[in-house]
Amino acid sequence: DSGVTQTPKHLITATGQRVTLRCSPRSGDLSVYWYQQSLDQGLQFLIQYYNGEERAKGNILERFSAQQFPDLHSELNLSSLELGDSALYFCASSVTQGSGNTIYFGEGSWLTVV
Amino acid sequence: DQQVKQNSPSLSVQEGRISILNCDYTNSMFDYFLWYKKYPAEGPTFLISISSIKDKNEDGRFTVFLNKSAKHLSLHIVPSQPGDSAVYFCAASEAGTASKLTFGTGTRLQVTL
């Protein structure tokens, strides 16, 4: 158990819908990351937050957005869902924001768009 | 542009032998490297890391070697155990204020009896 908690673990929804994935980082961790793993791709970085502020952005679609709240939990919002958005979405956290940090991953939220 | 590459998609090793997983990178700004182990439909589990100021780091059965001039790192598992069978990802982060990881495509390790 990494200490990073993600909900829901599984989610099935229809195209065009909107979903919210939730993440609670490890106790004491200020930085939160979101990654996507599709069937035919590796782990793709989406976005990073540190203490409530966006720190880095990767290949995140405009239909996707995220935020980190004052209690440090984070949410990833996926809207106008398409079949290709079906993937495992991982949240991860680390103590701080710079390089040299070990990043710990949650168990993932499996999203299926039908 | 794949900045972190794991050129061997799979590796099979006998129990008790050494497993060597390789990783190459192209970005000279990477200064911290990590190895993760992953089972299907589970999150990556951190194994071991190494800073660019070192060339070797050891933790139990796991040792990571870094060759900066060759932009190459490797993970050695000795002795290999059946429970080590999983996909192993190499990851790297750049110096700076953002610590996002860039992952390789993974190597599936199968440890046979």
A58 lies within 8 A of chain B by CB? yes
- Best A2, A7, A33, A43 residue to mutate vs chain B (most B CBs within 10 Å): A43
Please name the member of B36, B91, B99 whose beta carbon is closest to the beta carbon of A94.
B99
- Inter-chain contact B100–A48, Cβ cutoff 8 Å? yes
Per-residue pLDDT tens digits for B12-54: 999 999 999 999 999 999 999 999 999 987 899 999 999 999 9
Confidence of residue A66 (pLDDT cuts 50, 70, 90): very high
Largest CA distance in chain A: 40
For residue B41, list chain A residues with Cβ-Cβ distance below 8 A. 88, 108, 110
What CA–CA distance (Å, rounded) separates B34 from A63? Answer: 31
Mean pLDDT of A46-69: 94
Contact B60, B45 (CB under 8 A): no
DSSP 8-state assignment for residue A27 = T
Contact B43, B37 (CB under 8 A): no
The three-class DSSP label of residue B1 is coil
Per-residue pLDDT tens digits for B60-88: 999 999 999 999 999 999 999 999 999 99
CA distances from B45 to A54, B37, B65, B89 (A): 25, 5, 19, 10
Task: State how far residue B43 is from chain A, nearest Cα, in angstroms.
Answer: 4
pLDDT at A40: 67
